[in-house]
Amino acid sequence: MIRNMKLNVYTILVAIFLLLAQALPVMASSYTVRPFLIDRVVEPRETVTETVQLTNDSPITKLVVYATVNEISVDKEGVIKQFVSPIMTDRTNTVTSWVEVSRGRIEIEPNSKTDVPLTFRINPYAKPGEYHVFVGFVPAPNRPKAESIALAGEADGVIVKLTVADKSSDSMKVSGFFINRFITNEAKKEISVVIENTGDTTSAPKGEIVFYDSKGAEVDSLFFNTEGIEIPPGKTVTIKSIVPVDGTLGRFKANLSLKYGKNQTASLFDSTSFFIMPINLLAILFFAILISTIFIVLLFKKAFHNAPYSDEESDLVTMYVKEGHDPKPQDHDIDLKNTKK
């Protein structure tokens, strides 16, 4: 009899095991998470809330679910390639830190549904780009077990794609383009370009300065900001260079042309004029003018002193008296009639 009892107990245990083995897939398939994918375009500082619905279709079993959050990487087709542990990425500027979801027990009664709010608070300094995160809702006896199941890629949940739009703008202006008005030596050949970044992104403007003579012919050029000096947003930077034109005398014009921004698509233009007057050429010109002036003065002086000078001729005064003219003499007049020889 005892033997029969042992056999009956064994038979009952096997039957229970078989029933559980058949029931587990049914229980697993009776639990769903919707939606499967959340795809949103967001901006820094923005807050977005979505609703996730958990459904328990089991008629007898109450589920205890824990939410997990893992950053993921996906391929071009959107298939998950890797789950990343939160410990490695949970920093201020990562997508996992933007997710707010209940971390406590979520209980779902048999044949019922539960709505869970899922909130995304985008970091104020989030960089533009695409971010992927998996929010799992895992039936498990405790949170550590749920997290290990999610990290192994065996959990039900929601794939979230957040695209941070690039709202930044590239904007710069040339506040000053300076070359000494009169260049008399090498020390005065400095070029100063004052550039202000009025946009939201750091940029390094680059370009060319072309030099023309007074006839409009190009005489020289130089590449500008080859060092790649960057200008942060809201800052003004003075970038310097040197006039490459040799020490030739004359008037010149410089045209500045710069590119900046993403793919160097935006343009800046400015121009200025200056004179190159080398001190040695000025000295030569000064002495040439001085010598010419002295030579001309001597020529004029020689020309005016060629006629001889006589004292006798200088004492003679020629006077003419019109005939028949007999005016009444005044006190200050000379009466020619009474003048004795």
The CATH code that applies to domain 28-164 is 2.60.40.10
Same CATH topology for 28-164 and 172-279: the answer is: yes
Query: In the chain, what percentage of residues exceed pLDDT 90?
Result: 47
User: Which one is predicted more confidently, 36 or 4?
Assistant: 36
- The string of DSSP codes covering 274-319 is EEE--HHHHHHHHHHHHHHHHHHHHHHHHHHT-S---HHHHH----
Q: What is the pLDDT of residues 284-317, one digit of tens each?
A: 667 778 788 887 887 777 776 655 555 555 555 5
Q: pLDDT value at position 56?
A: 95
- Beta carbons within 10 angstroms of residue 101's beta carbon: 18
Q: What angle do CA 205, 206, 207 make, to 5 degrees?
A: 135
Query: Where along the chain do its domains lie?
Result: 28-164, 172-279
- Say which range, 17-21, 203-207, 326-330, has the weakest mean pLDDT: 17-21
Q: What is the pLDDT of residues 217-264, one digit of tens each?
A: 999 999 999 999 999 999 999 999 999 987 678 899 999 999 998 778
Model confidence over 95-136: pLDDT tens digits? 888 999 998 999 999 999 999 999 999 988 888 889 999 999
The class of domain 172-279 in CATH terms is mainly beta
The 10 Å CB-count burial string (b at 16+, else e) for 220-247 is eebebbeeeeebeeeeebebebebebee
Overall average pLDDT of the 138-157 stretch: 91
Name the average pLDDT for the chain: 80
Burial per residue of 208-219, b for 16 or more beta-carbon CB atoms within 10 angstroms, e otherwise:
ebbbbbeeeeeb
16-74 pLDDT per residue, tens: 444 444 444 434 458 999 999 999 999 888 999 999 999 999 999 999 999 999 888 87
Which of the pair, 13 or 311, is modelled with greater confidence? 311
